[in-house]
Amino acid sequence: MTRRNSCGETLKKFDQDRTFHTFRDHGWHYEGEITAWQMKANRYAFVKDVSQINNATELRRTYNKYLRRDLKKGDRNLRLVELERHELPEFMDVLEASNQRNAVVGRQLDYYEKFIDAFGDKVKFLGARVDETDALAAATCFVVNGRELACYIGGMRREYKAFRPNAWLLDQAMAWAIGQGIERVNMFWFEGKFENNSLLEFKSRFGGEVEEYIGGFEKILRPVEYQMRRVRQKTKSFARRLLTIQQRRYHD
What would the pLDDT profile of 196-211 be if each residue is shown by its tens digit? 889 999 999 999 999 9
Q: Looking at residue 39, what is its pLDDT?
A: 66
Average pLDDT over residues 38-48: 84
Specify whether 199 is located in the same domain as 248. no
Specify whether 174 is located in the same domain as 60. yes
Average pLDDT, the chain: 91
Q: Looking at residue 56, what is its pLDDT?
A: 97
pLDDT band at 84 (very low <50, low <70, confident <90, very high): very high
For residue 124, what is the domain's CATH number?
Answer: 3.40.630.30
**pTM of the full structure:** 0.83
Q: Looking at residue 101, what is its pLDDT?
A: 75
What percent of the chain lies above the pLDDT cut of 90?
A: 65
Tally of structural domains, the chain:
3
Specify whether 67 is located in the same domain as 142. yes
Question: For residue 239, what are the domain limits?
Answer: 224-252
Specify whether 57 is located in the same domain as 173. yes
Specify whether 79 is located in the same domain as 140. yes
Residue 248: Cβ within 10 Å count:
12
Specify whether 201 is located in the same domain as 215. yes
